[in-house]
Amino acid sequence: MTPSFAFKSSFALKGSLAALAIALPLLAPFAAEARPVRITTTLNAYGGDGAYLAVYLTDKDGKLQKTLHVAGGKAKYHKHLSGWYRQSGGRIDGTTGASVGAGKSLTISAEIADALIDAGFEIRVDSAVEKESDIPVDARIAVSKASVGKPAAGRGYVKSLAIDM
């Protein structure tokens, strides 16, 4: 009995693999294509400690879709990135790095699905500086072809936010 059971399992596995081999080329056009997007956040020369930044992607309703980067190594201060923190609960699904000094820039790269470009999505940046103000949505820019080459002004520590595709 064991050999016939093994034969049936092997046959079922081969049949499944054959079906998968046929289906994959047919499904390939439906796979989400993504493009690299470079995001540059430039800070004002505000004269204080390094800024903590949360760079994240939101949908057209402002709901967090993905954290792209959190700058600032001490997790206990991430709650001061309040717009991002309220939606993420502090969960980081992107990259992390050091805080960003006054007058400096942070450039990150992310893969963004083609379907999200020109569809109302935004890149947002929350900022916070120790012993200073916290600024939710300090800067925002549409994920669109029209935004390329046109930096958006920030409201506080962020001087500008730019994207390049």
Comparing 10 with 84, which gets the higher pLDDT? Answer: 84
Residue 120 in this model has a pLDDT that exceeds 70: yes
Comparing 14 with 75, which gets the higher pLDDT? Answer: 75
Q: Count the residues in the chain.
A: 165
Output the pLDDT for position 15: 52
Please, how many CA atoms are within 13 Å of residue 154, restricted to the half-sphere of its CB?
A: 27
Q: How far is the C-alpha of 85 from the C-alpha of 137, rounded, in Å? A: 11
pLDDT band at 94 (very low <50, low <70, confident <90, very high): confident
Decide the pairing of beta strands 51-58 and 122-129: antiparallel
- In whole numbers, what is the pLDDT of the chain averaged over residues? 86
Q: What is the DSSP letter of 100?
A: B
Min mean pLDDT across 5-19, 31-45, 64-78 is at 5-19
Output the pLDDT for position 47: 87
Mean pLDDT of 3-29: 48
Output the pLDDT for position 25: 54
User: CB count, 10 Å around CB of 40?
Assistant: 14
Distance of CA 109 to the CA centre of its chain: 9
What does pTM read for this prediction?
0.80
| Structure tokens belonging to residue 67 | 């954290």
Output the pLDDT for position 22: 57
Q: What is the DSSP letter of 115?
A: G
For residue 9, give the H/E element and its range. helix 2-27
